[in-house]
Amino acid sequence: MKRSTSSALLLAALLSVGGINLASAAPGEAPPAPEVEPHMAQPFGPHDRVEALFDSWNLDDNQRAAFEQAQQAYRDQRQALREQHEQRLADIFEEDQLKALRAVQRPGPGFDHGPGFGHGKPKHHNHGPVKQHKRIGNLIDALYTSWSLSDEQRAELNDAREQFMSEAKALRDQSFDSREAKRDAFQALRKKHHQAMSDVLNDEQMAVLEQLKPAPRHQNGPGDA
């Protein structure tokens, strides 16, 4: 009996510390939710944090209004500058070229392991493989369109890519006598793939793709750590 009484007192004490008042709950009803301390409330947004800072400085309404005006003027000027920049680029490049330029400037994560260009296993990003694949496809298509590649040239490049991926998978599944032998096999495959693409693209176009490849990693082949 003493143990039961002690347990009840301990439970009541813990609930009291947690902010739950059993006495305020009617029979058969769940106790009210614990009160949330101010320091445990939901995090504030940027605007709330700025307002709290201004409150700590005792800024008056005129100062706050001046700040808002300065912020809005900055946003307006930035938008106007962005539109002016876009118009200047549109005056310089054709639409397909401009699309390719934007894609190359911001290829996004995952491109360095795009079909036929990167080496090794794809890195894991939080953007999802579907979005990565779509982004890569859009970039490649923008480049090919800006270069005015024919359907035949695109087909040849696609065949070269598929061949590379197939042979790379076979090499990953293959057993080698040494790490050096595996490394040499992958180097030979990359050289073969590079030549297949060079048969379709000129030196300048190949240079663009080379710039989009990942930096060399010290490993023996795709998939090795």
Q: Specify whether 68 is located in the same domain as 151.
A: no
* Last-in-domain residue among 92, 120, 143: 92
pLDDT band at 102 (very low <50, low <70, confident <90, very high): confident
Percent of the chain with pLDDT over 70: 63
Question: And the tokens for 103?
Answer: 């894609």
Do the beta carbons of residue 160 and residue 193 sit within 8 Å? yes
**82 occurs within a structural domain:** yes
Q: Specify whether 98 is located in the same domain as 88.
A: no
Q: Identify the pLDDT of residue 134.
A: 76
Do the beta carbons of residue 221 and residue 181 sit within 8 Å? no
Q: What is the pLDDT of residues 132-179, one digit of tens each?
A: 667 777 888 889 999 999 999 999 999 998 999 999 999 999 899 999
Q: Specify whether 76 is located in the same domain as 176.
A: no
Q: Specify whether 118 is located in the same domain as 218.
A: yes
**213 occurs within a structural domain:** yes
Domain count, the chain: 2
The Cβ-side half-sphere exposure at 9, using a 13 Å CA radius, reads 6
Q: Specify whether 170 is located in the same domain as 86.
A: no
Q: Following DSSP, what letter does each residue of 121-171 receive, concatenated?
A: SPPP-TT-HHHHHHHHHHHHHHHHHHTT--HHHHHHHHHHHHHHHHHHHHH
pLDDT band at 221 (very low <50, low <70, confident <90, very high): very low
Q: Identify the pLDDT of residue 141.
A: 87
Mean pLDDT across 208-219 = 68
**14 occurs within a structural domain:** no
Q: Quick one: CA torsion of 19, 24, 27, 28, rounded to 10 degrees?
A: -40
Q: Specify whether 155 is located in the same domain as 206.
A: yes
Check residue 199 and report its DSSP letter: T
**28 occurs within a structural domain:** no
Give the separation between CA 70 and CA 157, rounded to whole angstroms.
Answer: 53
**61 occurs within a structural domain:** yes
110: left (phi over 0), alpha (psi -120 to 50) or beta: left
Residue 64 sits in which domain range?
Answer: 49-92
Q: Specify whether 82 is located in the same domain as 61.
A: yes
Mean pLDDT across 126-137 = 66
Ranges 67-81, 104-118, 191-205: which has the least confidence: 104-118
Question: And the tokens for 7?
Answer: 């347990």
Give the separation between CA 186 and CA 183, rounded to whole angstroms.
Answer: 5
Q: Identify the pLDDT of residue 43.
A: 62
**137 occurs within a structural domain:** yes
**128 occurs within a structural domain:** yes
Do the beta carbons of residue 110 and residue 135 sit within 8 Å? yes
Q: Specify whether 182 is located in the same domain as 146.
A: yes
Q: Specify whether 113 is located in the same domain as 127.
A: yes
| DSSP H helices in 18-150 | 46-57, 61-92, 95-105, 129-146
Give the separation between CA 212 and CA 199, rounded to whole angstroms.
Answer: 19
pLDDT band at 39 (very low <50, low <70, confident <90, very high): low
pLDDT band at 46 (very low <50, low <70, confident <90, very high): confident
Q: Which residue has the tokens 């495959």?
A: 189
Asked whether residue 225 carries a pLDDT value surpassing 50, the answer given is no
Check residue 41 and report its DSSP letter: S
Mean pLDDT across 117-138 = 58
Q: Specify whether 129 is located in the same domain as 83.
A: no
- The most confident of 24-28, 48-52, 101-105, by mean pLDDT: 48-52
Q: Specify whether 104 is located in the same domain as 161.
A: yes
Sign for the CA dihedral angle at 173, 175, 180, 181 comes to negative
Instruction: Kindly report the average pLDDT of the chain as a whole number.
Output: 76
* Last-in-domain residue among 92, 108, 143: 92
Q: Specify whether 64 is located in the same domain as 114.
A: no
**69 occurs within a structural domain:** yes
* Last-in-domain residue among 57, 92, 127: 92
